[in-house]
Amino acid sequence: MTIRTARPDRVQHFRPRMHCLKKLEAMVVEMQDQKSGVKGSEQKLNVTTIPHVLTGKDIIAWIANKMKTTPEEAQTFSTMLVAYGYIYPLQNHKKLVMCNDSSLYRFQTPYFWPTQKWFAEDSDYGELVKYVTTYKNHDPFLAPCLPSNPWQTDHDAYWTLNMRRVDLPTKMRVERWSFSLFELLSDLRGRDDFKIFLKKEFSGENLAFWEAAEELKWGTAASMTAKAETIFKTFLAPGAPRWINIDGRTMGLTVKGLDHPHRYVLEAAQTHVFLLMKKDTFFRYLKSPVYKDIQKKALNPEAHNFSPAQLEQNANSRSPGIHPIILWQQEEEEKAKAAAASAPVDVKAMMSKIDRKK
Amino acid sequence: MCDQTFVAATFGPCDSCGTASPLMNIYIKNEPINYCSFCMEVMACQGLQKGETLATLKKECESLKKKLEEDRGKLNDVELHQVAEKVEVVGALSIKTRRVLKGHTNKVLCMDWCKDKRRLVSSSQDGKVIVWDGFTLNKEHGMSMPTTWVMACAYAPSGCAVACGGLDNKCSVIPLSLDSNENCAAKKKTVAMHTNYISGCTFTNSDMQLLSCSGDGTSALWDVESGQLLQSFHGHTSDILSLDLAPSETGNTFVTGGCDKKANVWDMRSGQNIQSFECHESDINCVKYYPSGDAFASASDDATCRFFDLRADREVAVFQKDSIVFGASTVDFSLSGRLLFAGYNDYTINVWDVLKGTRISMMFGHENRVSRVRLSPDGTALCSASWDNTLRIWA
């Protein structure tokens, strides 16, 4: 495996193509003009109706007319629009080209245009400064740990209070959940609280799907096919018990990908669900009675104030804590219990069981 | 007019070899080609095209690099420390050694924390891998490896296993048990196999996958259970010395740094090298992501540490001082990302203010090179490993 290549410098990896992308974007904006842009319409594809759809034919004709050039050049230009993601094909997702026929296309939302994140303005560094400011009080090297840093006082209360399955978390921990959905989900105790909220809203399937997708991504290669099948049956199949509501295109891509299950087959769907939770559900959670309740009840431990004699005593009686292997085994048991409780009921099996009892 | 859609990694049968795998989309003469990363490499290696000579290709490469630097320079004039002028200064830090872990009989080359925030694993030139409870100083497991120079070690996210590798060109996973007397090394399982020494390894978000980097210039993602190679990453032109997995919510990228002075960012799904930074003047010994995942730092033999912003796609800070002459071998951030701890070959650890670019303090104590510094998972302590055969925990 010692292939050493002086890789050809495919400049597309790097940002400096701004000059040409700016021109592309100006064109894309014009194409979407209500009056003088490309004529779109509703299209029926199988059983779904897709709004604002354009045919490749129409796009190429519009560009050829606008740029006063041949259809071949217009086709090359519009292929670039597809390659850079400004327009996406509805049918053949793999080949990112513009076809001069009745193939269907749609415009990509500007949020995802390649130029959106290239300005090295103050705002870029602002992100780094903002992150530091947000987490400043949570950094044990910059602000004191409450009740105390175990390494400084030899007392492990800080770890005990912040364990995985505490009834009441600390105020600092609850505050950290509000920083981002990622923080909330990374802390399993926070995830539990989020699940309580979701249960009240009857919208637990999004998080359940996200968790299942994570299991698939990080699981063993051998388990791929079985997991993909279970996920399809539970979340994606028409009429599935925990059907998730994602847009038609993503659903189409995902279901097609499930023909060759691999660990990233759910990537598009998972990202969609995550963004949905991040932009909507997460903020409602932060305003909800569930969160406000845990904020109120959260513990605010007093700072330790050990005398030198007490510190010496602490040093001589350092607690061994619970071994991570034991904690892991406990977690696996809890997960199995939860899975059994939420598995869709097999009505047929239940019925035949009842029949046999008779 | 448009709706929410997302960039999906295209997947399917490779146009060249036919195997179903994540595809890289490129265009040759306006024709889209969907090759898997391996076939892409093979194609890139296929001799010179008509009209090309080695000299013309080299010249083309140099001119593209120059243009890239020019364009990068045009994009901005503001430095990070200028933006951070309004941020208040960090107060005096009083960081002391809280534990000294003695037990290795030769240079300690690597260490990693367990997610329980107190246990850690360390590996040494003496061929031993030790699992410690850092809090009680209890040595829980001691395992002997078949070769000396165990240069990489990692703790599994579950806390139930460790991985290690080095001059044996392999990275093995060893399941741990509750019984200290049990010979864990006997259950060792070889997962990664390279053609040169293993310089770094880490588990991904679960115990099932291992990421390794090697002196053979490649890094690779492995399935632990079967030992199967899931994805390989090619692009470095010399030994890779370090890797780090991104902490972001998507968790799909990692960064490597090596002897070719380059730091490369990779997409784990497709094997693609998505970003590259060549700013150091000598070998990059260590790379580490900023806690938010939007930036990373590197430590180099050129006695500087540098800070790279991934969204701005450029180096945004250089941590250097005339009085610092010896190479930096390791870096890590504090929890908020405000502090950068860097271990040097002059036996010290310097603490840098990431936003202001200045050095805040120095940590003395080791009696030889500092080979690795790592912050504990909850940010309460920093562990340093050294060629003086010990590890220290600071807080």
Residue A13's pLDDT is what?
42
Compute how many other C-beta atoms are within 10 angstroms of the C-beta atom of residue B157.
19
Q: Do B380 and A150 touch (CB under 8 A)?
A: yes
Residue A342's pLDDT is what?
67
Provide mean pLDDT across the span B116-145: 96
Confidence band, pLDDT 50/70/90 cuts, at residue B8 = very low
- B15 compared with B11, residue with greater pLDDT: B15
Provide mean pLDDT across the span B214-240: 96
Strand, coil or helix: A103: coil
Nearest by CB to residue B336, choosing from A85, A97, A138, is A138
User: Which range has the worst mean pLDDT, A6-15, A126-135, B281-290, B323-332?
Assistant: A6-15
Confidence band, pLDDT 50/70/90 cuts, at residue A22 = confident
Q: What is the pLDDT of residues A93-113, one digit of tens each?
A: 778 888 888 888 988 877 677
Cis peptide before B377 (omega within 30 of 0): no
**Buried/exposed B25-53: b ≥16 CB within 10 Å, e otherwise:** beeeeeebbbbbbbbbbeeeeeeeeeeee
User: Which range has the worst mean pLDDT, A134-143, A199-208, B117-126, B280-289?
Assistant: A199-208
Of all residues in chain A, what percent carry a pLDDT higher than 70? 86
Is there a contact between B380 and B112 (Cβ–Cβ < 8 Å)? no
Crossing angle for the helix pair A56-67 and A18-31, to the nearest 10 degrees: 110
Chain B residue numbers with beta carbons less than 8 Å from the beta carbon of A40 are 1
The C-alpha of A180 sits at a distance from chain B's nearest C-alpha, in angstroms, of 10
**Pairwise CA distance, residues B279 & B22, whole Å:** 31
Enclosing H/E stretch for B265: strand B263-267
Task: List, in order, residues 6 or more apart from A203 with CB less than 8 Å away.
Answer: A281
Task: List, in order, residues 6 or more apart from B223 with CB less than 8 Å away.
Answer: A220, A221, B208, B209, B230
**Pairwise CA distance, residues B257 & B301, whole Å:** 12
Residue A354's pLDDT is what?
63
Among the listed residues A229, A208, A189, A176, the one whose alpha carbon sits nearest the alpha carbon of residue A273: A208
Q: What one-letter code names the amino acid at B280?
A: H
Q: Do A112 and B68 touch (CB under 8 A)?
A: no
Nearest by CB to residue B395, choosing from A96, A151, A265, is A151
Nearest by CB to residue A325, choosing from B11, B34, B178, is B178
Considering chain A, tell me which residue range(s) the CATH 1.10.167.10 domain(s) occupy: 163-297
Q: Residue A50 pLDDT > 60, yes or no?
A: yes
Q: What is the pLDDT of residues A209-262, one digit of tens each?
A: 999 999 999 999 898 999 999 999 999 999 999 999 899 999 998 998 888 888
Q: Residue B256 pLDDT > 70, yes or no?
A: yes
Q: Residue A119 pLDDT > 50, yes or no?
A: no
Q: What is the pLDDT of residues B175-197, one digit of tens each?
A: 999 988 888 888 999 999 999 99
Residue A356's pLDDT is what?
66
Is there a contact between A264 and B23 (Cβ–Cβ < 8 Å)? no
**Pairwise CA distance, residues B366 & B369, whole Å:** 7
Q: What one-letter code names the amino acid at B365?
A: G
Q: Residue B74 pLDDT > 60, yes or no?
A: yes
For residue B134, with 0-12 CB atoms within 10 Å meaning exposed, 13-18 middle and 19 or more buried, which class applies? buried
Task: List, in order, residues 6 or more apart from B166 with CB less than 8 Å away.
Answer: B109, B123, B145, B147, B148, B149, B150, B151, B152, B197, B198
Q: What is the CATH number of domain A163-297?
A: 1.10.167.10
Q: What is the CATH number of domain B94-394?
A: 2.130.10.10
By C-alpha distance, the chain B residue nearest A96 is B32
Q: What is the pLDDT of residues B331-358, one digit of tens each?
A: 999 999 999 999 999 999 999 999 999 9
ipTM field: 0.85
Q: Residue B9 pLDDT > 60, yes or no?
A: no
By C-alpha distance, the chain B residue nearest A115 is B311
Q: What is the pLDDT of residues B319-330, one digit of tens each?
A: 999 999 999 999
On average, the pLDDT of chain B sits at: 90
Confidence band, pLDDT 50/70/90 cuts, at residue A40 = confident
Half-sphere exposure of A106 toward its Cβ, with a 13 Å CA cutoff? Answer: 22
Confidence band, pLDDT 50/70/90 cuts, at residue A345 = low
Nearest by CB to residue B309, choosing from A124, A150, A328, is A124
Q: Residue A7 pLDDT > 60, yes or no?
A: no
DSSP for residue A170: B
Number of H helices, E strands in chain B: 3, 31
The C-alpha of A200 sits at a distance from chain B's nearest C-alpha, in angstroms, of 25
Of all residues in chain A, what percent carry a pLDDT higher than 90? 53
Q: What is the 3-state secondary structure (H, E, C) of B148-163?
A: CCCCEEEECCCCCEEE
Is there a contact between B210 and B171 (Cβ–Cβ < 8 Å)? yes
Half-sphere exposure of A168 toward its Cβ, with a 13 Å CA cutoff? Answer: 11
- B49 compared with A315, residue with greater pLDDT: A315
The C-alpha of B377 sits at a distance from chain A's nearest C-alpha, in angstroms, of 11
Among the listed residues A90, A106, A96, the one whose alpha carbon sits nearest the alpha carbon of residue A28: A106
Domain ranges across chain B: 1-44, 94-394
The C-alpha of B347 sits at a distance from chain A's nearest C-alpha, in angstroms, of 22
Per DSSP, helices labelled H in chain B are 37-45, 54-75, 80-83
On average, the pLDDT of chain A sits at: 85
Residue B60's pLDDT is what?
84
- Classify A19-112 by CATH class: mainly alpha
Q: Do A267 and B9 touch (CB under 8 A)?
A: yes
DSSP assignments along A232-301, one per residue: IIIIISTT-TT-----HHHHHHHHHHTTS--TTTTHHHHHHHHHHIIIIIHHHHHHSHHHHHHHHH-B-P
Evaluate the CA torsion angle B46, B48, B54, B60 in order and state its sign. Answer: negative
Q: Residue B3 pLDDT > 50, yes or no?
A: no
Provide mean pLDDT across the span A35-52: 77
Confidence band, pLDDT 50/70/90 cuts, at residue B75 = low
Is there a contact between B185 and B162 (Cβ–Cβ < 8 Å)? no
Backbone angles phi, psi at B242, to 5 degrees: -160, 150
Largest Cα–Cα distance of chain A, in whole Å?
89
Q: What is the pLDDT of residues A150-168, one digit of tens each?
A: 999 999 999 999 999 999 9
Neighbouring-strand partners of residue B47: none
Provide mean pLDDT across the span A125-147: 93
Compute how many other C-beta atoms are within 10 angstroms of the C-beta atom of residue A338.
11
Provide mean pLDDT across the span A35-62: 82
Q: Do B216 and A328 touch (CB under 8 A)?
A: no
DSSP for residue B92: P
Provide mean pLDDT across the span B219-238: 95
Q: Residue A25 pLDDT > 80, yes or no?
A: yes
Chain B residue numbers with beta carbons less than 8 Å from the beta carbon of A2 are 195-196, 216-218
The C-alpha of A16 sits at a distance from chain B's nearest C-alpha, in angstroms, of 6
Q: Do A142 and B339 touch (CB under 8 A)?
A: yes
Q: Residue A9 pLDDT > 50, yes or no?
A: no
Beta-strand relationship, B31-36 and B390-394: unpaired
By C-alpha distance, the chain B residue nearest A39 is B1
Considering chain A, tell me which residue range(s) the CATH 1.10.10.10 domain(s) occupy: 19-112
Q: Do A8 and B44 touch (CB under 8 A)?
A: yes
Residue B2's pLDDT is what?
31
**B42: Cα separation from own chain's centroid:** 26
Q: What is the pLDDT of residues A311-320, one digit of tens each?
A: 999 999 999 9
Q: Do A121 and B4 touch (CB under 8 A)?
A: no
